Chains A and B, each alone.
Chain A
């Protein structure tokens, strides 16, 4: 026995090599089997998602935090809240206010009082009737309780009183006429008083995540798995008709590649937000998936710091003083080739920008007249700077006549935005061509947010979106949004402050005639354009994709001449989406065969190894 052992150690034996190979084979076989079993477990899930056909799987815009409509901020939460709680009005596919809880409304002669007639016969999901008292209680709570005002306090700032004289009448009086009342009424979720009255004392800590949640809407929240997904069940008693899907699952994916992978594999049925141009184009030719470009409700701009100041006019920050000169800002606008930017960095999936409000809501679209337009022209930009006294220095960089320093500007971009990174080199090159040196500061969203109110910047890349009512997007350009002297309370976009603009802002908020309001807002957009504080580069297309082999009618409406669909609204899309009758994926059956093949090969391999080991047991001893 001993001799045998020594002999084995003496020669690097084939036995050891074979044993090692066998061990590796056995380990590999075990791993393959484990993987196959786990992959096989996927098959029933994938099959069921298609065959049941009654579950719609959607990506959430953000992760979930709370379903308390008084304190929720994040879009993911707000999407769910919008589906499970009613509002007085809602918007149709054209973005216009239409009845929801309120069947009709009227205003007093002085436009200071609104009377809403609440539909009778509607019931919360626990069977209790929905009355005007619920709406009055909700709105009063927001008006008088600081915590309840966390999310929607700004929307009721102009409300004076809210009363419910009877079960079907709600009266709102305002301090000043409020033209956007119907949009505001469509933005504040109404909650059942009999459920929420007991939660007021601990409202800040109440997350409203115990299901089923009592509410009213096309859906009811019936399940929530912390930080993963929310399950909503269709409300068969919804007054506009039950949604076509029985169940809606809203799931958050923390990166867009995972989200696209989930759509490709059928884990998601639709992706409404967050697709990049590259991802959108890659999905164009995938079988079973249809891509939808929609009219943009977003702009991307380079903000120019015209001089940071507080509401009382105290200057602060270290922005380059040259940007106070409108001629420098105009020259920058003329130096940027927006069309090239769109075609080279976004594959053409955007519209070049001019007016402040994006094209999603056509009534507010404003285009500068030809005589006012600052079109791309490096020659004119150079002439403008030269005539303004910015002489070209020896190294091709112009000198500021006031400070006698080279015209050197910082461009802050988001480090986590691919489109920013793509845009920056073009801007550097184009501004260099007119004698302005640009240093790119790639910053995190937090760094950028931190720098903005301090005024420690020259140029920033920024993006804003709007809903059907542009009031908020306009408000961030008013003097009232500048910070106080102690540095707090400012929500300004780029330290813009213009008394005429402010006057027009106040005026449009009281104009009940849409035509008049549009006219006023046009004037406001003209002021913004002429001041060139926000150089609107483009309106990026909203890019979506749907598994049309499983879901139809998710996006509807007729695309315009450019092929764009109307801007989506989850409230409409989720109800409109309809299951496709036979939606069993062919890849599922392929998966079954491949998984079975792996299992069979692994089993045969294991059997062969075991038999051979048994046959050579004697030799090994």
Chain B
């Protein structure tokens, strides 16, 4: 899959013609490149920190009312709660605390859960990684497989059906699709009985831990949310891979490969695919970066106890420390993976190294 195994394209030929650089200057270039990218990432993070605080501070909210709604609450209690939540402080003071805490690694204390935000994030990280990880892997495999084959033979039956299907699912509101699958497969329809659970991550009361029955139980709960995400997301990979493959179709190196007597599948897999992969790699890194934030709608539809659902719960109050804390984590994740994508690009594409 690495670029070294790919035959020479026009781009790579010109790369060979470019003046070569020695090892020391290459390392120096890389160091400069790395410093530039890391500095840009730090600036992005700082900007997001400020932006996040401003957005959440501007949100219309009355957390004390939301927390105590319907509950006999005296004026004394309201005043105490307002002070306890820090809502009596001016915005600039709250911002100062927010920045200082963030720099010290403290993500704050959730008003709603009465627990450190970091603890809540760690508790819900694993369910999110499981859901998003599995759906991302399946989406990549399915989308790339279909994209490669659709792009290799554009206009054929497989291309028309897979592209149409992908676009249709991509256009469907995730929430609606989730509810539809939930109603169909968790309550059954016609002679089909209920096959999968309506929500949660495991059957209440069942044995937990690493028992095979528990693993199977979690997998069963995972099917519908994962399927919903895959159906909505795989189109991205399918469309980008298809488009990249079509771009490669007319290149002379493919004719050369065919002239060497290679089978069609070999020409496609060993020559066209490696050159068409770069845009998909970018997409994969971006997707992995957003993975940690979960899928708010899908986790909410299926009561999946992950970070997306946690964000939804935080928005309901709104629980500002929790929102700010999750925002920091999500932003940091996207920035880090963007940085990794830049570095990977440098490795995968010689043109980036030269530039």
Contact of B217 among A6, A41, A259, A471 (CB under 8 A): A41
5 contacts between A and B (CB under 8 A): A149-B76, A153-B73, A204-B114, A265-B187, A471-B72
Interface membership of A525, Cβ < 8 A: no
B182 adjacent to A257 (CB under 8 Å): yes
Which chain B residue lies CB-closest to A155? B72
Q: A445-B316, A453-B65, A590-B193 are in contact. Are A261 and B183 (CB under 8 A)?
A: yes
Instruction: Give the A-binding residues of B (Cβ under 8 A).
Output: 59-62, 65-82, 84, 88, 112-115, 123-124, 149, 158, 179, 182-183, 186-188, 191-206, 208, 213, 216-217, 219-220, 223, 258, 261-264, 267, 300-303, 305, 309-310, 312-313, 315-318
A587 to B189, CA, bound (A): 11
A254 to B200, CA, bound (A): 9
B62 adjacent to A450 (CB under 8 Å): yes
A465 adjacent to B78 (CB under 8 Å): no
Interface membership of A472, Cβ < 8 A: yes
How does the 8 Å CB contact mask read for A218-244 relative to B, with 1 for contact and 0 for none?
000001011111010000000000000
Within 8 A of B (CB), among A48-93: 55, 57, 63, 65-66, 68, 71, 73
Contact of B77 among A6, A8, A154, A475 (CB under 8 A): A154
Which chain B residue lies CB-closest to A586? B193
B68 adjacent to A73 (CB under 8 Å): yes
A9 adjacent to B78 (CB under 8 Å): no
B70 adjacent to A465 (CB under 8 Å): yes
Contact of B62 among A254, A255, A449 (CB under 8 A): A449
B60 adjacent to A450 (CB under 8 Å): yes
What is the distance, in angstroms, from A5's C-beta to the closest C-beta of chain B?
5
Contact of A205 among B88, B114, B179, B316 (CB under 8 A): B114
A465 to B149, CA, bound (A): 60
Interface membership of A207, Cβ < 8 A: yes
Interface membership of A379, Cβ < 8 A: no
Q: A264-B194, A590-B191 are in contact. Are A153 and B62 (CB under 8 A)?
A: no
Contact of B220 among A41, A157, A254, A449 (CB under 8 A): A41
Interface membership of A447, Cβ < 8 A: yes
A489 partner residues in chain B, CB cutoff 8 A: 75, 78-79
Interface membership of A531, Cβ < 8 A: no
A149 to B158, CA, bound (A): 66
B263 partner residues in chain A, CB cutoff 8 A: 5, 8-9
Pick out which of these stretches binds chain B: A124-132, A168-176, A245-253, A573-581. Answer: A245-253
A258 adjacent to B77 (CB under 8 Å): no
Contact of A225 among B188, B202, B258 (CB under 8 A): B202
Within 8 A of B (CB), among A1-24: 2, 5-6, 8-9, 16, 20
How does the 8 Å CB contact mask read for A458-497 relative to B, with 1 for contact and 0 for none?
0000001100000110010000100010001101000000
A537 to B62, CA, bound (A): 26
B191 adjacent to A594 (CB under 8 Å): yes
A262 to B112, CA, bound (A): 27
Contact of A472 among B72, B191, B202 (CB under 8 A): B72
What is the distance, in angstroms, from B107's C-beta to the closest C-beta of chain A?
15
What is the distance, in angstroms, from A579's C-beta to the closest C-beta of chain B?
15
A149 partner residues in chain B, CB cutoff 8 A: 76-77, 80
Q: Which of A150, A226, A475 has the most CB of B within 10 A?
A: A150
Q: Which of B192, B205, B263, B305 has the most CB of A within 10 A?
A: B205
A255 adjacent to B65 (CB under 8 Å): no
B261 adjacent to A229 (CB under 8 Å): no
A247 to B62, CA, bound (A): 38
B199 adjacent to A254 (CB under 8 Å): yes
A446 adjacent to B59 (CB under 8 Å): yes
Known: A153-B73, A265-B187, A587-B193. 16 other contacts (CB 8 A): A8-B263, A9-B264, A20-B149, A20-B158, A66-B113, A157-B74, A227-B305, A228-B202, A229-B204, A249-B205, A258-B182, A258-B199, A261-B187, A264-B187, A446-B316, A594-B191
B77 adjacent to A150 (CB under 8 Å): yes
A232 to B258, CA, bound (A): 69
A594 partner residues in chain B, CB cutoff 8 A: 191-193
What is the distance, in angstroms, from A515's C-beta to the closest C-beta of chain B?
25
A446 adjacent to B223 (CB under 8 Å): no
A37 to B315, CA, bound (A): 37
B205 partner residues in chain A, CB cutoff 8 A: 55, 223, 231, 247, 249
Which chain B residue lies CB-closest to A448? B60
4 interchain residue pairs of minimum CB distance: A265-B194, A450-B60, A261-B198, A262-B198
A205 partner residues in chain B, CB cutoff 8 A: 114-115
A151 adjacent to B71 (CB under 8 Å): yes
A225 partner residues in chain B, CB cutoff 8 A: 202, 204, 208
A63 partner residues in chain B, CB cutoff 8 A: 313
Which chain A residue lies CB-closest to B212? A41
B318 adjacent to A446 (CB under 8 Å): yes
B216 partner residues in chain A, CB cutoff 8 A: 37-38, 41
Q: A265-B187, A446-B62, A449-B65 are in contact. Are A153 and B217 (CB under 8 A)?
A: no
Interface membership of A146, Cβ < 8 A: yes
Contact of B78 among A16, A155, A488 (CB under 8 A): A488
B70 adjacent to A258 (CB under 8 Å): no
Which chain B residue lies CB-closest to A486? B88
Interface membership of A610, Cβ < 8 A: no
Which chain A residue lies CB-closest to B68? A73
Within 8 A of B (CB), among A427-469: 444-447, 449-453, 464-465
A223 to B59, CA, bound (A): 37
A257 to B156, CA, bound (A): 40
Q: A227-B305, A228-B305, A253-B303 are in contact. Are A267 and B197 (CB under 8 A)?
A: yes
B200 adjacent to A229 (CB under 8 Å): yes
B123 partner residues in chain A, CB cutoff 8 A: 226-227
B206 partner residues in chain A, CB cutoff 8 A: 45
A154 partner residues in chain B, CB cutoff 8 A: 72-74, 77
Q: A9-B258, A489-B78 are in contact. Are A66 and B114 (CB under 8 A)?
A: yes
Interface membership of A46, Cβ < 8 A: yes
B199 adjacent to A262 (CB under 8 Å): yes
What is the distance, in angstroms, from A490's C-beta to the closest C-beta of chain B?
8
Which chain A residue lies CB-closest to B260? A2
B182 partner residues in chain A, CB cutoff 8 A: 257-258, 261
A279 to B108, CA, bound (A): 40
Which chain A residue lies CB-closest to B112? A65
Which chain B residue lies CB-closest to A57? B204
B186 adjacent to A262 (CB under 8 Å): yes
Which chain A residue lies CB-closest to B302? A258
A227 partner residues in chain B, CB cutoff 8 A: 123-124, 305, 309-310
B72 adjacent to A146 (CB under 8 Å): no
